[in-house]
């Protein structure tokens, strides 16, 4: 058995011997983003029973939302009672205590919290 015959026998089973890749086309795969997919789905006439991206409604979560620090973004188990800012450790608390009220209000506004109490 020659070397060429051994190579032919070792060819993977998933490759069809009749397959020929057309290298003359230089068109690359165009990937669609989620917004493009949703827009194209909304434009089509869908029956009511078909499930697609824009028809899926998630039920409300039973888990409480996670709380993150307003300064660092780390998980925050603590909340300052005076400013209502969340913090993760004592170093962040020391920073929060020294913050002026306008900066504190800015952090609360970014989080979407109500105004400062107290």
pTM, whole model, 2 decimals? 0.48
Q: Choose between 14 and 65: higher pLDDT.
A: 65
How confident is residue 118, by pLDDT bands cut at 50, 70 and 90? very low
Phi, psi of 115 (to 5 degrees): -65, 170
pLDDT tens sequence across 54-83: 666 777 889 998 999 999 999 999 999 999
Average pLDDT, the chain: 80
Given a contact cutoff of 8 angstroms between Cβ atoms, the answer to whether 96 and 83 are in contact is yes
**C-alpha torsion angle, residues 31, 37, 39, 41 (rounded to 10):** 140
Q: What is the DSSP letter of 57?
A: -
Weakest mean pLDDT among 11-15, 26-30, 63-67, 102-106: 11-15
3-class DSSP state for residue 66? coil
């Amino acid at each position: 058995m020659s070397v060429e015959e051994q190579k032919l026998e070792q060819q993977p089973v998933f490759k069809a011997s009749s397959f020929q890749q057309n290298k003359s086309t230089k068109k690359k795969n165009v990937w669609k983003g989620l917004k493009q997919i949703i827009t194209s789905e909304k434009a089509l006439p869908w029956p009511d029973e078909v499930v697609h991206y824009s028809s899926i409604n998630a039920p409300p979560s039973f888990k409480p939302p996670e709380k993150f620090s307003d300064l660092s973004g780390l998980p925050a188990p603590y909340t300052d009672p005076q400013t209502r800012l969340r913090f993760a450790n004592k170093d962040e608390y020391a920073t929060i205590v020294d913050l002026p009220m306008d900066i504190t209000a800015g952090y609360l506004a970014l989080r979407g919290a109500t105004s400062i109490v107290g």
